[in-house]
């Protein structure tokens, strides 16, 4: 795959120009963006996956849900349905996508969850439910909608300012697209990151006057959850780790730091597990997976007693400042 990406390097200038021109057409108001009267917060990235959008959306839900009626709108990547879908008791990972289904499963009493590849249409449909706020999941490049607040995520290990556009790099659009962000969060930082290193990263980001930069790290739970019970992380002896996410490295490192014994089955992001995959997993004694993968695997009854997921949350380096920016935006 790495060799193929290098071979495709001559395509990079073409991809760069096409995405650059598309953005300029919106910047010059030749292509039109639609604004909405209610607060719309977009969480996205410049790269393809793996920056921590899902835990960031959950962070916003926990911050805002007590005082606001929240709606989440996603495109529902790899779902088996089309058009606008509002999550209800019949929702599944197949009908709305694994990440939206995760939001619905955890927060169904607090939020509305919908999917629509046409974000403008999705927002209009959700407006009928009269939410106070709409959170757009992975919509930074969806410029037909002009969000009131844009939160851009980039990882510590592979920040956008050290990357290039597809197909050789991982960026969906040129680096200059970051200027549209109001908040930039450097995610998945190590616990050892210090003030000097943060200052160096902020210098490389070269934030505009309207932008604020934050740093976040992943916090893993001490408890594993299944559909029917819980288990402490310390009680694990040997297990099979199953991941179908863009970057499993932080989770693998965490489990290794805990000196746990496991085999790792690593699948591509948003992997659609086959009957053969499930049959093979049925032979395992204990399976640990991510919460996103759990949403796709829990439908298989044969795995219910042995399938557990490890929840994650994000820790922000200066939560009071970030929270104030967000809540002030919602209020005003």
Residue ranges and CATH numbers for the domains of the chain are: 2-68+132-218+315-331 (3.40.50), 222-310 (3.40.50)
Residue 154 host element (H or E): strand 149-155
Contact 219, 315 (CB under 8 A): yes
The rounded distance, in Å, linking the Cα atoms of 21 and 13 is 12
What phi and psi values does residue 235 have, to the nearest 5 degrees? -80, -10
Taking alpha carbons only, the member of 213, 164, 210, 212 closest to residue 189 is 213
Residue 296 has pLDDT above 90, yes or no: yes
Taking alpha carbons only, the member of 312, 283, 285, 281 closest to residue 298 is 281
Neighbours of 38 (CB within 10 A): 15
Residue 6 has pLDDT above 90, yes or no: no
Taking alpha carbons only, the member of 63, 231, 215 closest to residue 135 is 63
Look at the block and give the residue holding tokens 């014994």.
261
**Those residues with Cβ within 8 angstroms of residue 49's Cβ, 6 or more apart along the chain or in another chain:** 246, 247, 269
Residue 91 has pLDDT above 70, yes or no: yes
pLDDT digits (tens, 9 = 90+) for 169-214: 999 999 999 999 999 999 999 989 999 999 999 999 999 999 999 9
Q: How confident is the model at residue 3 (pLDDT cuts 50, 70, 90)?
A: confident
Res 209: pLDDT: 95
Q: What is the percent of the chain where pLDDT is above 70?
A: 100
Q: How confident is the model at residue 63 (pLDDT cuts 50, 70, 90)?
A: very high
Res 1: pLDDT: 62
Residue 332 has pLDDT above 90, yes or no: no
pLDDT digits (tens, 9 = 90+) for 9-45: 999 999 999 999 999 999 999 999 999 999 999 999 9
Please tell me the pTM assigned to this model. Answer: 0.95
The string of DSSP letters for 96-135 reads H-HHHHHHHHHHTTTEEEEE-SSHHHHHHHHHTT--SEEE
Contact 150, 88 (CB under 8 A): no
Q: Average pLDDT of the chain?
A: 95
List alpha helices for the chain, DSSP H.
Answer: 2-7, 12-27, 53-64, 93-96, 98-107, 119-127, 195-205, 249-257, 275-281, 291-297, 319-331
pLDDT digits (tens, 9 = 90+) for 96-152: 999 999 999 999 999 999 999 999 999 999 999 999 999 999 999 999 999 999 999
Look at the block and give the residue holding tokens 């298989």.
300
DSSP, collapsed to helix, strand or coil, labels residue 269 as: coil
Give the pLDDT mean for 231-243.
95
């Amino acid at each position: 795959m790495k060799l193929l990406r290098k071979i495709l390097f001559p395509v990079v200038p073409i991809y760069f120009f096409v995405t650059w021109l598309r953005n300029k057409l919106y910047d010059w108001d030749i292509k039109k963006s639609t604004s909405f009267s209610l607060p719309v917060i977009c969480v996205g990235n410049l790269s393809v996956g793996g920056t921590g959008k899902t835990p960031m959306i959950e962070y916003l839900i926990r911050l805002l849900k007590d005082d606001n009626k929240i709606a989440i709108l996603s495109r529902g990547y790899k779902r088996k349905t089309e058009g606008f879908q509002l999550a209800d008791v019949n929702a599944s990972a197949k009908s709305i996508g694994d990440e939206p289904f995760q939001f619905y499963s955890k927060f169904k009493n607090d939020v509305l969850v919908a999917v629509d590849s046409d974000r403008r249409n999705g927002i209009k449909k959700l407006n009928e439910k009269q939410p106070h706020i709409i959170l757009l999941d992975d919509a930074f490049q969806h410029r037909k909608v002009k969000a009131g607040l844009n939160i851009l995520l980039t990882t510590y290990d592979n920040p956008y300012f050290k990357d290039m556009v597809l197909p050789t790099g991982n960026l969906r659009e040129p680096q200059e697209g970051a200027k549209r962000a109001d908040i930039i969060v450097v995610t998945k930082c190590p616990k050892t990151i210090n003030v000097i290193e943060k200052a160096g990263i902020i210098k490389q980001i070269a934030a505009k006057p309207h932008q604020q930069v934050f740093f976040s790290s992943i916090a893993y739970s001490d408890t594993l959850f299944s559909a029917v019970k819980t288990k402490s992380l310390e009680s694990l002896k040997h297990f099979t780790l199953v991941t179908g996410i863009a970057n499993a490295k932080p989770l693998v490192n965490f489990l290794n730091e805990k000196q746990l014994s496991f085999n790792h089955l690593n699948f591509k992001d948003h992997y659609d597990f086959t009957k053969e995959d499930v049959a093979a997993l049925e032979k395992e004694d204990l399976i640990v997976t991510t919460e996103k993968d759990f949403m796709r695997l829990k439908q298989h009854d044969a795995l219910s007693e042995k399938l557990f997921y490890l929840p994650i949350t994000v820790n922000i380096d200066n939560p009071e400042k970030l929270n104030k920016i967000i809540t002030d935006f919602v209020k005003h």
